[in-house]
Every structure is written in structure tokens, then in C-alpha cells.
Chains A and B, each alone.
Chain A
Amino acid sequence: MDDNLVFKALGDPTRRFLLDLLFEREGRTLSELESQVDMTRIGVMKHLRLLEAAGLVVTRRSGREKLHYLNPVPIRLIHDRWIDKYTARHASALANLKTTLEEQK
């Protein structure tokens, strides 16, 4: 994974919009994505190819269809690299969740 490619991919409003669409609901076909964007099919394909090259979109075949999924890992890696929000409290997250869930009851 190449950070430059990720930043480049994120640097375009149409591509960010495509990622937002996949964030809302994944497993979309090219036709579904194309119907949401005011752009030719070829244009959308180009954007998706760049998103795939950056690792932000992963595709999977289901029968005849090619489905598109958002892969958030490259963004996480950039986050880990650039945003130092970590603390040393190790592995308490699931325990915190348990507490949260129990408090909601």
C-alpha cells in the first residue's frame, strides 16, 4: 500500500463521494454506483480503478456481478501514522464495550 496513492485517491470529490456511497452500503455494482453520480460509466470506472489501486476499494465476484466494497484499512494506517491518539491502556476496549452494553440495559 502506497500512502501517496491513498492521498491521491482521497483528493478528488467524486472518489470521496463513491467511498461515501460504499460506506452507506457495500457490495454495490458499477451500475448502482454509476446511477448515483453525474458522470459517464467510463468515468466512474476510472475513479473506481484508482480507488482499487489505492486499496480503498476491494472487489468481489458474485455470479456475473462484480461487487465493490470499502476497505478502510489504508485510511486506518494513515491514521495510525499521522494521528497520535493512542494511549498505553492495553486491550481494555472490549471490556469497556461490555460495560457500555450492560449500562444500556
Chain B
Amino acid sequence: MTTTNSSETIQIYRVYIKAAPETVWEAITKPEWTVQYGYAPLSEYELRAGGTFRSYANEGMKALGCPDVISDGEVIEVDPPRKLVQTWRMTMTPEMASEAFTRVTYDLVPVRGGVTKLTVTHDVTGAPMWAAIMRGESEPHGAGGGWSEILSGLKTLLETGQQLPFQSGPE
């Protein structure tokens, strides 16, 4: 499903959003935005190379028994509003926390008419469970649609101001 090429496993996602790169950047890196789309975690970035990244369970997740910190990582490269590179590990369960740290690169490129081309490159080498979730393979088990859903939610939020209702798996 995901790539195995020269021992790398990479997923790439791209979406065009009618918003300035600065706005998209804010929506990726600021907690008041991250709680409004995708899995809606509260994400905290120390926006400098070597800074800490953490995302916290929102109220809904906590009510369902999630640990406080649901993912963590390190900021590798910060070039606002063009490029953000970080490591990223899921810590919701001990099994997932034992997988390798993955690496996420956000590239934001302004294109015609106030549109930003956002490309997410996720190197999921050594993290097969995380890879499957971000690919949306676990959606039937209630794990959401991964990157496709996160980026769709981001697009809807920035273009319409509306939150995409969350797809919460089998009823």
C-alpha cells in the first residue's frame, strides 16, 4: 500500500486551498486552529529547529479515555510560511509509541489567485501502524480518514469557516 523504495516508506498528499500561505501556516502550527479540523487535537509547536512538538487529546478524546499527550516529536526545520519539517510519533497506545519516529514535511507554495498548494510528505519508515492510520486504512475501525480527512478538513475550514463534521467510524 505504501511505498517501499530504497528502504523508505513515503506517503505524499497534496491539496489546493484558497487561502494565503501565512493563513495555512497558522492553521497548521497554532493550537486554536488545530482543534478545528481533522482529528482536532490541540497541537503545540516550539517553532525553532530542535523545538518540541506535542499534541494533546481534546475534550471529546479525553472523555473517551485517551491519554493526555497523543503524539509528540521534534521540530527539524522552520521556514514560515513555506516549509515545516518535524518528527512525529503517535503515543496513544504503548504499541504505537514503540514505533519509529516518522518525519513530516509541509511545503506551502503560493500559486495563482490567492491559492496555496500544500504538499505533505510523510516518511513513515518503521511505523506501519501509524502509516496505515494516516492512509485512512483504519477508517472502518473508527480511526478516521488519516491525512485525506485532515487536509480536507483544513481546506473546508479555511475556505468556508466551517468545521467539517467528523467522521467517527461505524455507528
Contacts and interface: CB of A to CB of B under 8 A. Distances in A.
Given A73-B147, A88-B165, A91-B40, A98 B171 contact: no
A80 B164 contact: yes
A-side binding surface: helix, strand, loop or mixed? mixed
Interface residues of A, number: 37
A98 B143 CA distance: 8
Given A67-B5, A90-B166, A98 B92 contact: yes
Most buried by B among A60, A88, A93, A100: A93
A75 B139 CA distance: 15
Interface of A: 1, 23-27, 55, 58, 60, 62, 67, 69, 71-73, 75-77, 80, 85-102
Interface of B: 1-6, 8, 10-16, 39-41, 57-58, 60-61, 63-66, 70, 92-93, 95-96, 119, 121, 133, 135-136, 138, 141-145, 147-149, 151-152, 155-156, 164-169, 171
